Homo-oligomer: A and B are copies of this chain.
Amino acid sequence: MNKADISTVARLLITCPDGPGIVAAVATFLKDHGANITDLDQHSTDPLGGTFFMRLEFQTPQLDLSSKRLEQKFNEDVGKPFKMDWRIHYAANLKKMAIFVSKYDHALLEILWRWSRHELAIKIPFIISNHPDLQQAADHFKVPFHYIPVTDKAQAESQMLALCQDIDGIILARYMQILSEDFVNHFPNRIINIHHSFLPAFVGANPYQQAYDKGVKLIGATAHYVTKDLDMGPIIAQDVVRVSHRLSAQKIRVLGQYVERTVLARAIKSHVEDRIIVDGNKTIVFDLE
């Protein structure tokens, strides 16, 4: 999406009890206020008594109200009556996503490279790492780099939280430290992690070695929101690649990295384009691909 598009696109995400008339109410509201719907996707778990999810993209140039007033009116006219849990994002307000990384560079570089080519519409305010190794990578892309070793976890997290005061979310691009429940609670459904296995298989450490020992014929990667339970949060995206007896655990790891970086990038894209609604411990992803 080029800069002109981004500056005028708004995205409305809705979750509410399903029932008749929701689409009519929302679409009519938007039409009445000069918003032209350019994309719409929805899902219902059960038209009778289930939950309804919707994502709309609309153009804002002809709006007859300020965004603040529009949101107030939407709440009065549609949101409250339909008991909606809703939010509007303005695409021009790029999400500020901090990146945490340890030693492996493949996922980090993939994000930085796509971001530098405008394929990820985000701001990257800084990178935090518990190792100094990737300073050079950060410098190359002109992104501030903070080396925060984790010898004293509470103190390290305190530093990190201070830096993260003003961000919208965090990308764990193979950040190998486990964040505390307290830290995680500051960013509900806003920390995206890439786990190097096809969850729920091989949670925890050394999943490639686990996969090799198990003798699976496919390995994978999973991007998910981080919750207090390790590798258990809502899954956003997954992919796999074939392996065979010919590949050592080391070769499996190399192959897996290509899947990790792709899956993580895809998940971030879905997140920053406001394509994801979390439902319990699962995600509805209104994707293009």
Distance in angstroms between the alpha carbons of A200 and B197 in the assembled complex: 11
A149 an interface residue at 8 Å Cβ cutoff?
Answer: no
User: What B residues does A237 contact at CB under 8 A?
Assistant: 217
Mask for A237-266, Cβ within 8 A of B = 1, else 0?
111101111110001001100100010000
Contact partner, A289, options B43, B200, B220, B242, Cβ 8 Å: B242
Binding-face segment, A22-30, A127-135, A181-189: A22-30
User: What B residues does A214 contact at CB under 8 A?
Assistant: 199-200, 235, 281-282
A39 an interface residue at 8 Å Cβ cutoff?
Answer: yes
A230 an interface residue at 8 Å Cβ cutoff?
Answer: no
Contact check, B289 vs A255: say whether CB atoms are below 8 A apart: yes
Contact check, B198 vs A218: say whether CB atoms are below 8 A apart: yes
A76 an interface residue at 8 Å Cβ cutoff?
Answer: no
Contact partner, A288, options B21, B246, B258, Cβ 8 Å: B246
A85 an interface residue at 8 Å Cβ cutoff?
Answer: no
Distance in angstroms between the alpha carbons of A55 and B11 in the assembled complex: 21
Q: Name the CB-closest residue of B to A261.
A: B258
A41 an interface residue at 8 Å Cβ cutoff?
Answer: yes
Contact check, A244 vs B23: say whether CB atoms are below 8 A apart: no
A202 an interface residue at 8 Å Cβ cutoff?
Answer: yes
Distance in angstroms between the alpha carbons of A90 and B262 in the assembled complex: 34
User: What B residues does A201 contact at CB under 8 A?
Assistant: 198-201
Distance in angstroms between the alpha carbons of A28 and B239 in the assembled complex: 40
Contact check, A24 vs B28: say whether CB atoms are below 8 A apart: yes
Residues on A lying within 8 angstroms of B by beta carbon are 19-24, 27-28, 30-31, 34, 36-44, 47, 59, 109, 113, 119, 140, 198-202, 213-218, 220, 234-240, 242-247, 251, 254-255, 258, 262, 279, 281-285, 288-289
Can you list 24 A-B pairs, Cβ within 8 angstroms, ordered by A?
A19-B36, A20-B34, A24-B27, A24-B28, A24-B30, A24-B31, A27-B27, A38-B44, A38-B47, A39-B42, A43-B246, A109-B113, A198-B198, A198-B201, A199-B214, A201-B201, A214-B281, A217-B235, A218-B220, A245-B279, A245-B282, A247-B289, A251-B288, A258-B262
